[in-house]
Copies of this chain bind each other. A is one copy, B any other.
Amino acid sequence: MPSKVRIALDAMGGDDGAAVVIPGAAISLARHRDTEFLLVGDRARIEPELDRHPELKSVSRIVHTDVAVSGSDKPSQALRRGRKTSSMWLAIDAVKKGEADVAVSAGNTGALMAMARFHLRTLRGIDRPAISAIWPTQRGQSVVLDLGATIGGDARHLVALAVMGAAMVSVVFDKKRPTVGLLNIGTEEIKGHEEIREAGEILRAMNLPELEYIGFVEGDGIGKGVADVIVTEGYSGNIALKAAEGTARQMAELLRNEIQRSWLSKLGYLFARNAFQALRDKMDPNKSNGGVLLGLNGLVVKSHGGINAEGFAYAIDVGYEMAHYDLLNKINQMLNREGGALNSVQTAQEAVS
């Protein structure tokens, strides 16, 4: 690993492009001094922002392009129009070429997935990539995946997600043998989703040194923090994430409205300000910003599109951590060591069937 963490930013991604990306980078840089940035996008937009952040400017290099993937582009359109030219592509390309350790983009998810997959290719042993993120829980934080990269998938896919998620936890939280649960619903015997049951049997049979499989977890188990890693396919993972984020926003808004209704409750709010701040700090979707694309030959982080500079800085932080702690090599080691994770799926599959 190089002594500095080199981060390529898609400076045209997200609702506000450079106006959010550049100040976001400045915030993140203040937290991680050993960062260098490649700012990919329209020089005319980037430079005025950069002039306001001299420290950032001194560790940044601009890669100019005026082609941007739009939020409404379908993945196939984005690939057709933006391949080799768009800021999103060029940020990924910097990772591919080894000029950056990680790329961060707030551009549209489908396009980012498609470009990253097309250009970086999946890791050996991985058929389909995943998006993972850190989820605040009652007991701390968990890693949840897949949040929408791949819809559906067989038992082997779920096992691969478990292995990658465990690698991410061991990198981010420095845990030796993270616990892993498979997201499921309570009713045991209802027909369907044999792949989840099968994945559970395989994980149990494999008894990997890198993770401890604890069984099925229901939707409310995520927030309880019953496992370090929660594994599910991308459709239900995305639904769970958005339903939870929606509820958090709904409650915050409701409380704010109710507090505005009387001077007494406004006063109460002032007194209890620290408590509210703590709640915001912990449940703020901004602070959980930064979905890591897993399963690719290169590190890519997806930020929410409609985010402010502070929120974008958290996505950069995630990218920094993943690069700094060498996530990719750890995943690769777990996937491909002799007798390692996915090599033994076949054996385990035969043992349980």
Contacts and interface: CB of A to CB of B under 8 A. Distances in A.
Interface in A160-189: 183, 185-189
Listed from nearest, the 10 A-B pairs whose CB atoms lie closest are A219-B242, A268-B271, A268-B272, A151-B192, A220-B246, A258-B275, A223-B246, A265-B272, A219-B243, A185-B238
A343 interface: no
Contact of A191 (B151, B278, B283): B151
17 contacts: A185-B234, A219-B239, A220-B245, A220-B246, A221-B242, A222-B243, A244-B247, A247-B248, A250-B283, A251-B283, A254-B283, A255-B276, A258-B276, A264-B274, A265-B273, A268-B270, A272-B272
How many copies the complex holds: the figure is 2
Contacts of A235: 185, 192-193, 236
A208 interface: no
B254 A265 contact: no
A259 B275 CA distance: 5
A223 B238 contact: no
Nearest to A114: B189
Determine the interface band of chain A, counting residues with CB < 8 A from chain B: 35 or more
Contacts of A207: none
Given A254-B283, A272-B272, 17 more contacts: A75-B187, A76-B189, A110-B189, A113-B187, A113-B190, A138-B250, A183-B239, A185-B234, A185-B238, A186-B238, A190-B234, A192-B235, A219-B244, A232-B239, A258-B278, A261-B274, A264-B271
Contacts of A222: 243, 246
